[in-house]
Amino acid sequence: MADNDDLQTELARLRAENEALKARASKPLTLKVSAKGAVSVYGLGRFPVTLYKEQWERLLDMADDIRAFIGENAAELKTLEGS
C-alpha cells in the first residue's frame, strides 16, 4: 500500500510543479531601466534581456529581417516546448 501512497504523493508533487511552471510561463513581459541605464526585458526566460538604447534601436530596426529569417529557417528552429 505504501507504493501506491508514494505514487500518489509523487503525482501530486508533479502536478503542483507543472502548474507552477505554467503560471511562470504566462507572466507578462515587463520593462525596466537597469542600474546602468539600459533597458531590461523581464519574462522571456530565467534572466532579463538587457541592452542599451542604441542596441535596442538597431535590433528593432531589424524586426522584419528577424521575422523573415525565422520563417526561412522554421524547419531547423526549436520552440520552448521542444518541438
Residue 36 lies in a domain: yes
Which residues have CB under 8 Å from 33's CB, separation 6+?
39, 40
What is the pTM (predicted TM-score) of this model? 0.62
Residue 39 lies in a domain: yes
Residue 15 lies in a domain: yes
Report the alpha-carbon distance of residue 28 to residue 43 in Å, rounded: 6
42-71 core/surface letters (b: 16 or more CB in 10 A; e: else)? eeeeeebebeeeeeeeeeeeeeeeeeeeee
Residue 79 lies in a domain: no
Q: Domain of 62?
A: 2-72
Residue 46 lies in a domain: yes
Query: What pLDDT is stored for residue 24 in this prediction?
Result: 65
The residues of the chain scoring below 50 in pLDDT are 83
Query: What pLDDT is stored for residue 19 in this prediction?
Result: 80
Total domains in the fold of the chain? 1
Residue 80 lies in a domain: no
Residue 82 lies in a domain: no
Residue 17 lies in a domain: yes
Query: What pLDDT is stored for residue 25 in this prediction?
Result: 62
